[in-house]
Structure 1
Amino acid sequence: MTLEWRYTQDGIDWDELADLYRVAPLGNKNSSGLKTVFTASMFKCFVYDSGKLIGAGRVLADGVDCAYLCDVAVRPSHQGTRVGKAIVATLVDLSKDHKKIILYAVPGKEPFYRKLGFKRMTTAMAIFANPAQALATGLVSED
């Protein structure tokens, strides 16, 4: 497996990226929305295997204080091959000059991020556009 890493969105097929998020599975994200969020992100990476997009991730950051690592996705055919770990490590390294790097994980993926040095925050709070869904999927709790 020879991987190609890209750190800009030049030449990205946004429909292919939307398909990656769908099958990863990280939900149905439309291509125009993905273009918007990746354009607004300070750091991003796209991983290809034989010309096929197999992984991606991004970081929203302010350049000094806070970096938010988000949308890390790996195609199921490449999960378990350390591609996800490499994406997270790359994005953390790109964000290293920030005072804090935060993320929220899909419920059940917390052990993966713990192995990469992330610690549970006790004061994190969120407002979701669909609070019932966030509660049902375990992203938030009533307490």
Structure 2
Amino acid sequence: MVQHTAPEAGEYIALRLAAGLSPKDEAAARIALKNSIYAVSLRSSDKLVGMGRIIGDGGCFYQVVDIAVDPAFQGRGLGNRIMTELMNAMDAHAPDGAYVSLLADVPADRLYQKFGFTYTAPQSLGMYKKYPL
């Protein structure tokens, strides 16, 4: 079942870990999820099995984050379903000139290319700074 809402913080953290993403502090996760511009949660029965979010300023810049699928449900097209839902929302609401970015792990970059995302290198490179947990 597709829900157009962010998951609860605890299940968000659990799915991130199950999918091999970095851990997040629960208080920080609650703030982040509340401030999502758009979110998709996929459920099997009541269990969260996939998710994705769009964050940003709501006008010029957006970022696709937290694309995750439970390993037991991978290979069933759920990543594609999440991206389809997120991109449909962006297509409907992003103003002309908006910039949508994401950080892609290999081999997930192939999925994102199907939705029109291209590499920024060599013109620019993604960078990050992570604060200790």
**RMSD in angstroms over aligned alpha carbons?**
1.8
Higher RCO, 1 vs 2 (CA within 8 Å, ≥6 residues apart): 2
* 1:60/1:78 CA distance change after superposition, 3 Å: same
- What letter is aligned with 1:120? Y
Structure 1 segments of 4 or more deviating over 3 A? none
2:4 to 3, 7, 11: 7
Alpha carbons 2:52, 2:67 under 8 Å: kept: yes
- What letter is aligned with 1:100? Y
TM-score, scaled to structure 1: 0.77
Task: Extract unaligned runs of 5+ from structure 2.
Answer: none
- 2:91 matched to 1:101? no
* 1:48/1:103 CA distance change after superposition, 3 Å: same
1:90 to 71, 82, 85: 85
Q: Superposed, which structure 2 residues align to 1:50-69 within 5 Å?
A: 50-69=45-64
- Deviations along 1:9-32, one digit per CA (max 9) or x if unpaired, are 4xx432122111101111222332
Q: Superposed, which structure 2 residues align to 1:10-25 within 5 Å?
A: 12-25=7-20
Quote how far apart the aligned CAs of 1:124 are.
3.4
TM-score, scaled to structure 2: 0.83
In structure 1, what is the Cα distance between the partners aligned to 2:66 and 2:22?
10
Quote how far apart the aligned CAs of 1:56 are.
0.8
SS at match of 1:113: helix
Alpha carbons 1:72, 1:84 under 8 Å: kept: yes
Alpha carbons 1:17, 1:31 under 8 Å: kept: no
SS at match of 2:85: helix
The answer for the alignment partner of 1:141 in structure 2 is: none
Report the identity percentage: 24
Q: How many residues end up aligned between the 2 structures?
A: 125
